[in-house]
């Protein structure tokens, strides 16, 4: 089971979008997946078509980490109902719902004991190939809780000056965190989101990212997609949305997923 935190210390760059794109790809490729929505805003929960009242929320489960079993509180994503029947049979996409309650753990001075709460929970989980943790945009308690439980951090960045600077800070933070608290933790790579082919600034920043991140820069780059907000607004998996431009985006997520999950787990 691969446990992956989707992070960036900068807000609004596409962490939740990448989490959802990968979840859609995983669903389409037979990869059994659990999404843990650790962001108090709970955007991933909404996007994965799960109502916020369903299942015990992430904040409560963190509180009861020693007693609770994640498997008992994982809620099936509404996306399953949108799958063609032949894909639905063995498909698994569950969600640990997010809620404002998890914000009580989002302190900068979180105690090491609290930092292990998600790790305790995922240590007891079974039946999934992949666990995706959608993180809030900071290096406060919740992101540390996510990283302490993860094998890898997938960084999301936009091709802009502030995002590149933010990604460098995040990479340093991961190195320091893994040295101090989580020796198992590595960087999966940097996914670039919302790139525009017609932007000279984006082209320049992409070249800069290639130079800075070398083999950590993940390809393909995800493009700005005019349908994306509509897809999210409809709480739809990108792989089930019609149209060539969206199909290309779905393929990009498939290629990214292939780099993150062992080939034997992909059946699609």
Ligand X SMILES: Nc1ncnc2c1ncn2[C@@H]1O[C@H](COP(=O)(O)OP(=O)(O)OP(=O)(O)O)[C@@H](O)[C@H]1O
Site of interaction with ligand X (CB under 6 A):
11-17, 39, 43, 137, 193-194, 222, 224-225, 228-229, 232
Please choose which of Mg ion, ligand X, none residue 203 contacts, taking the beta carbon within 5 to 8 angstroms, the exact cut-off set by kind: none
Residue 131 pairs with which residues in a beta bridge?
A: 3, 34
Q: Which is nearer to ligand X, 85 or 226 (CB)?
A: 226
Please choose which of Mg ion, ligand X, none residue 239 contacts, taking the beta carbon within 5 to 8 angstroms, the exact cut-off set by kind: none
Q: Which is nearer to ligand X, 187 or 232 (CB)?
A: 232
- Smallest distance from Mg ion to CB 17, Å: 8
On whether the CB atoms of residues 253 and 22 are closer than 8 A, the answer is yes
- Smallest distance from Mg ion to CB 82, Å: 22
The 36-55 contact track toward Mg ion, x by CB under 5 A, reads -------x------------
Within 10 A of 226 (CB to CB), how many other CB atoms are there? 9
Tell me the window of 9-17, 78-86, 121-129, 189-197 that interacts with Mg ion (CB under 5 A). Answer: 9-17
Q: Does 29 bind Mg ion (CB under 5 A)?
A: no
Q: Does 194 bind Mg ion (CB under 5 A)?
A: no
The single residue among 2, 7, 8, 16 that binds Mg ion, judged by CB under 5 A, is 16
Q: How far apart are CA 182 and CA 186, in angstroms?
A: 9
Q: Does 205 bind Mg ion (CB under 5 A)?
A: no
On whether the CB atoms of residues 177 and 188 are closer than 8 A, the answer is no
On whether the CB atoms of residues 103 and 69 are closer than 8 A, the answer is no
Q: How far apart are CA 144 and CA 85, in angstroms?
A: 39
Please choose which of Mg ion, ligand X, none residue 62 contacts, taking the beta carbon within 5 to 8 angstroms, the exact cut-off set by kind: none
Q: Which is nearer to ligand X, 122 or 155 (CB)?
A: 155
Q: Which is nearer to ligand X, 55 or 137 (CB)?
A: 137
Q: Does 56 bind Mg ion (CB under 5 A)?
A: no
- Smallest distance from ligand X to CB 267, Å: 27
Listing DSSP states for 88-145 in one string gives: HTT--EEEE---GGGGGG--TT--HHHHTHHHHHHHT--S-SEEEEEPPSSSSHHHHH
Q: How far apart are CA 77 and CA 92, in angstroms?
A: 9
Within 10 A of 230 (CB to CB), how many other CB atoms are there? 12
Listing DSSP states for 177-236 in one string gives: HHHHT-TT-EEEEEEE-SB-TT-HHHHHHHHHHHHHHGGGEESSPPBP-TTHHHHHHTT-
Q: How far apart are CA 157 and CA 89, in angstroms?
A: 35
- Smallest distance from ligand X to CB 17, Å: 3
The single residue among 4, 5, 15, 194 that binds Mg ion, judged by CB under 5 A, is 15
Binding site for Mg ion (CB under 5 A): 15-16, 43
């Amino acid at each position: 089971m691969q446990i992956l935190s989707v992070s960036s210390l900068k807000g609004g760059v596409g962490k939740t979008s990448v989490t959802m794109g990968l979840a859609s790809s995983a669903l389409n490729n037979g990869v059994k997946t659990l999404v843990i929505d650790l962001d108090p805003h709970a955007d991933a929960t909404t996007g994965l078509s799960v109502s916020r009242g369903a299942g015990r929320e992430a904040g409560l489960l963190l509180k009861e980490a020693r007693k609770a079993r994640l498997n008992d509180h994982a809620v099936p994503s509404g996306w399953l109902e949108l799958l063609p029947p032949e894909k639905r049979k063995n498909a698994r996409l569950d969600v640990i719902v997010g809620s404002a309650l998890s914000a009580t753990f989002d302190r900068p001075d979180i105690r090491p004991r609290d930092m292990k709460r998600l790790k305790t929970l995922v240590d007891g989980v079974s039946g999934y190939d992949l666990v995706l943790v959608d993180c809030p945009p900071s290096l406060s308690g919740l992101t540390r809780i996510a990283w302490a439980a993860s094998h890898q951090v997938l960084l999301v960045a936009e091709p802009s000056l502030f995002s590149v600077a933010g990604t460098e800070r995040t990479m340093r933070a991961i190195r320091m965190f893994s040295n101090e608290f989580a020796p198992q933790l590595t960087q999966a790579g940097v996914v670039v989101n919302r790139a525009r082919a017609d932007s000279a600034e984006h082209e320049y920043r992409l070249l800069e990212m290639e130079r800075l991140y070398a083999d950590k820069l993940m390809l393909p780059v995800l493009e700005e997609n005019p349908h994306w907000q509509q897809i999210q607004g409809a709480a739809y998996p990108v792989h089930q949305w019609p149209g060539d431009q969206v199909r290309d985006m779905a393929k990009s997520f498939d290629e990214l997923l292939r780099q993150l999950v062992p080939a034997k787990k992909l059946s699609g």
